[in-house]
């Protein structure tokens, strides 16, 4: 969708440095962009590429504009502006035109909006409610009494088990399973007795869930994912977990059952949390961190220790937490040591 730099500035509330009539029709990297593409600089490590870029324009912060040889859009958050510009120049190719494929199976009492699209070999179960402009991808399964809000998109081979509720404008990528049974078993005399999983899954608006991520249904009450949450590929959300609005998790995170996570939290790749914890708003966990206790104060947290016998690991973990105070105490002793 070709557009001028001036039109982009007006649409995305940026300042222009240079010719506003420059036309761009795509996005590209600083090093590889063509003259008809717009690029961005969000990381100062790429400043050398900015100076030699062949892009037609660049989105950047004001402090970097002197290094830019081409017209620029100046923004406080260049990466966020780039995301919106990219979506504008490269609109989704998924068609939401009303359509029900001849091979789709729709229960007689399901309610499917006339503006929805149900693709080949998709299944819509009894009592399901499919909102306006919803897209159900090829081979996806929508179980009994599932509710899907307007403009939500299911990629091919998504599975929503019975009773799942999805909000508006959500994106679920291929392989997502929502509403599978939580890992609930009672130990009895060396045997494992399955605990019925009777709750559901409630997902808010504007949620995106990556490929092959799973969200378990609750044991009695619901598993809840609030508005704006973003889950990467291969994330596991256990039963009765509650994730606050606008929290994000990178790939391979695992959250055990009944943990409550606050709003705007950030989880790096492969972060795991044991069950029944409470994590406050605005907590950040770096790559491969292990969360073993509740977190009550916002901030950045790190830590992962190698596996060991549990009893020794617990003792060492307790000692590890005191190292900082021990080191300070030792330093005081050394400074006051007279050699006597």
Q: What is the pLDDT of residue 5?
A: 97
Q: What is the pLDDT of residue 306?
A: 60
DSSP-assigned letters across all residues of 246-308: T-EE-TT-EE-TT-EE-TT-EE-TT-EE-SS-EE-TTEEE-TT-EE-S-B-S-EEE-------
Give the CATH number of domain 3-89: 3.40.1390.10
Q: What is the pLDDT of residue 323?
A: 81
Q: What is the pLDDT of residue 304?
A: 77
Q: Which residues are known to be catalytic?
A: 239
Query: Per-residue pLDDT for 298 more than 80?
Result: yes
Q: What is the pLDDT of residues 199-255, one digit of tens each?
A: 999 999 999 999 999 999 999 999 999 999 999 999 999 999 999 999 999 999 999
CA dihedral of residues 110, 111, 115, 120 (deg, nearest 10): 0
Query: Per-residue pLDDT for 65 more than 70?
Result: yes
- Domain boundaries in the chain? 3-89, 99-301
| Residue 228 to residue 152: CA distance in whole angstroms | 13
Q: What is the pLDDT of residue 229?
A: 98
Q: What is the pLDDT of residues 96-110, one digit of tens each?
A: 689 999 999 999 999
Under the banding of pLDDT at 50, 70 and 90, the label for residue 92 is: confident
Q: What is the pLDDT of residue 285?
A: 96
Q: What is the pLDDT of residue 23?
A: 97
Q: What is the mean pLDDT of residues 279-307?
A: 91
Under the banding of pLDDT at 50, 70 and 90, the label for residue 337 is: low
| Residue 40 to residue 57: CA distance in whole angstroms | 8
Distance of CA 109 to the CA centre of its chain: 34
Q: Between the CA of residue 66 and those of 23, 71, 196, what are the distances in Å? A: 21, 11, 63
Looking at the DSSP bridge assignments, the partners of residue 99 are 117
Closest CA to 171 of 126, 229, 119: 229
Closest CA to 214 of 240, 179, 242, 187: 179
Q: What is the pLDDT of residue 183?
A: 96
Please tell me if the domain spanning 3-89 has the same topology as the one spanning 99-301. no
Give the CATH number of domain 99-301: 2.160.10.10
| Residue 25 to residue 8: CA distance in whole angstroms | 11
Looking at the DSSP bridge assignments, the partners of residue 3 are 24
- This prediction has a pTM of 0.87
Closest CA to 85 of 193, 163, 9, 184: 9
Q: How would you list the strands of the sheet with 278-279, edge to edge?
A: 111-112, 129-130, 147-148, 165-166, 201-203, 223-225, 242-243, 260-261, 278-279
Under the banding of pLDDT at 50, 70 and 90, the label for residue 289 is: very high
Under the banding of pLDDT at 50, 70 and 90, the label for residue 303 is: confident
């Amino acid at each position: 969708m070709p557009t001028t730099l001036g039109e982009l500035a007006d649409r995305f509330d940026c300042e222009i440095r240079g010719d506003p009539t420059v036309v761009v029709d795509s996005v590209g990297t600083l090093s590889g962009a063509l003259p008809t593409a717009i690029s961005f600089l969000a990381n100062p490590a790429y400043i050398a590429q900015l100076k030699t870029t062949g892009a037609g324009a660049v989105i950047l912060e004001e402090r970097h504009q002197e290094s830019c040889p081409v017209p620029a859009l100046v923004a406080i958050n260049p990466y966020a502006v780039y995301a919106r510009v990219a979506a504008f120049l490269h609109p989704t190719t998924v068609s939401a035109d009303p359509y029900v494929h001849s091979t789709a199976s729709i229960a007689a009492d399901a309610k499917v909006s006339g503006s929805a699209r149900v693709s080949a070999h998709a299944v819509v179960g009894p009592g399901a409610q499919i909102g306006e402009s919803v897209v159900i991808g090829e081979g996806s399964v929508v179980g009994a009494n599932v509710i899907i809000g307007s403009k939500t998109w299911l990629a091919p081979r998504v599975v929503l088990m019975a009773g799942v509720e999805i909000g508006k404008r959500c994106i679920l990528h291929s392989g997502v399973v929502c509403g599978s049974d939580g890992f609930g078993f009672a130990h009895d005399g060396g045997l494992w007795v399955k605990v019925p999983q009777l709750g559901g899954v409630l997902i808010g608006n504007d949620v995106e869930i990556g490929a092959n991520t799973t969200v378990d249904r609750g044991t009695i009450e619901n598993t809840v994912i609030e508005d704006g949450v973003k889950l990467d590929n291969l994330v596991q959300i256990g039963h009765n977990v509650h994730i606050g609005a606008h929290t994000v998790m990178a790939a391979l995170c695992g959250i055990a059952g009944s943990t409550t996570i606050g709003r705007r939290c950030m989880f790096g790749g492969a972060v795991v949390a044991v069950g029944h914890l409470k994590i406050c708003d605005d907590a950040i966990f770096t790559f491969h961190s292990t969360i073993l206790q509740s977190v009550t104060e916002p901030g950045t947290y790190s830590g992962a220790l190698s596996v060991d016998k549990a009893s020794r690991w617990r003792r060492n973990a307790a000692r590890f937490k005191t190292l900082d105070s021990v080191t300070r105490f030792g330093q005081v002793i050394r400074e006051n040591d007279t050699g006597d």
